[in-house]
Chains A and B, each alone.
Chain A
Amino acid sequence: MKSENQQFSSDKKLPHIIYLWLGDKIFKVVTVVLGATIILITLGMAWVLFQEGSLAIYEFGFFEFLTERTWDPAVRLLFGAWPFLFGTLITSSVALIISFFPAVAVAIFSAEYAPKWLAEIIDNLIKLIAAIPSVVIGIWGIFILAPWLRDVVYTPITLWAENNYPDLLPLLGNPMGYGIATATIVLALMIVPYTTALAKDAIKAVPKDQREASYALGSTRWEVIRMAVLPYARGGIMAGAILSLGRAIGETMAVAMLIGNKNTLPFTVFGAGATMPSVIVNEFREAVESLHLSSLMAIGFILFLIALIVNLTAAYIQRRLSIGGGQVI
């Protein structure tokens, strides 16, 4: 008892200032410095990418760099980002279009129709699939999906076009299996879990009153979903879709492994292509000319800008499109 008292009083006397006043100051300063580190990293990333890419941007001009169709690191040292910008936009937007409705359907099914145990299985499966590293999906694509697509889908279509519509052939391109179409299909598979999870969150956030009011008016289950739940959740669903688009735009490894990596336009449906991340992966380690390196950094800077715009748009839609000012989360 005595010793306890002694310890207590000595505790109270000795570090009083550190404990009460200085402790809080230090704590606040440390947390603010750690928080500011994240701000610095983000700003630093933008600055570093711009700084390193500025050589190419000044050499060619920003808009000329964006729209120039030639990428020639070997002979002329002429660099333009258009093939990669085009490749990125076409693969990721088509992937989103393919995957959007099935993903929302899964979200509706697991949130509204499925019994609890099934919904839990679907949920866990979706989350597990979202966690598969993209290189693992890439190796599956290289050795299983691409050969299968080539034999079962691309070659028959090409043969059919050859017999019936020979004009289509230049558009379809060489059905070797590694190309724009394969990369798009894999991207669609990869973003389905994100769209589904975010759409389900949005649907789950719809208040019970909405549903009950609709049921009270005599709606069927599907009418409740269509007229009460989906309009309320549409902001969250759209924001989720745009975030998934951002995922697809930034997806690197699986695309670099499957797209075939061809730096010249025109791209064909089955033929090889390239995206902004894939060209960085493929050429960065081998780039020797400083202009080449700088052009790759400039592509990184453009990718940064696109990702920034996509994320801000998603946040904006989330706020604006939801009924009632967007209570989604």
Chain B
Amino acid sequence: MSALAPPAPGRARLLARGSSLLRARELSLFILIVLVFGGTTLKNHNFASANSVQQLLTGAALIALLGVGETLVIITNNVDLSVGSVVGLSAYLVGMVFKHNPNFPVLLALALGIAVGAAVGAVNGLITTVSKVPSLVVTLATLYIIRGADGLIVNGHTIDPEFIPKSFQKIGYATFLGVPWLAIIVIVIVAGAGFAMRSFRSSRDLYAIGSNPEAAELAGIPAAKRVFTAFLVSGSLAGLAGALFLALHAQIDVTGGKGYELTVVAAVVVGGVAIFGGSGTVIGAALGAVLLNTIDQALVATKVSPFWNLAIAGGLLLLAIVFDRWLSLRVAKSLQSAEGAHHDV
């Protein structure tokens, strides 16, 4: 991918000064969410209820969780398109374990999901870093391989709610202080990842790799290792998302998680993670997921056909890419003129 990405002038400078801008992106996303929410409430007064907020959080949770891993990968100027298929595979495998062993411990089930995803993530990371081919095509290929394997394993069957233990389903529907457990799990992971991406040296390396791979290599950053880790994390979180998908829907067939990869990439990019790497935050990506989900639910509440979802997601994705480019050009320009005048950045 790096061969295709255009050069980004002054990204390092942009980053040094950009934290206020990034925060501005998160703020504007938040305002947008509030606007969509408020506008919908004006048309349909039932929209502003605790129940629908819970629905919003639950609906966005899985995409936000996948968005964490995807953000890490995209920041290194790669992309992971296999996440949707991992969700389907992991959900079905966990469901199968429950079907054969109804007393399987809940925590172990989650761990199983993570392990399935980690295995796929490791394969993606290994192929991408060793052969140095664009991850887009690698993960497109693994997406199909996993979907095919999933189809073979599922073989037309469905795992029905009666096989999923109540204690496991509770993750999907129970709440704590009014907040769904699913949302709590995801918020904790997003917050943790957000902190790690700000504070740990190894996570700052990801930004360096995405900004300028050669410079990162010369600066002694073990780029291959970091990119591999990003794919490993993305796969693991997708595996976890699969287990949570099962808890939420209490049912799984071959279509589980289909098309998620596009929603996740849309959410992450709308959330301000530059598709050509080097900038963006996990929290922005999560807000992007909430925004997309709010629009989805708003369409339902205002009785617009749900057939609009896909076109809106695609349009927003394109707009976000254009907007990011415009923003980075403007910042680069203003940095240049500011430097010329004052030399004080």
Are the chains A and B members of one assembly?
no
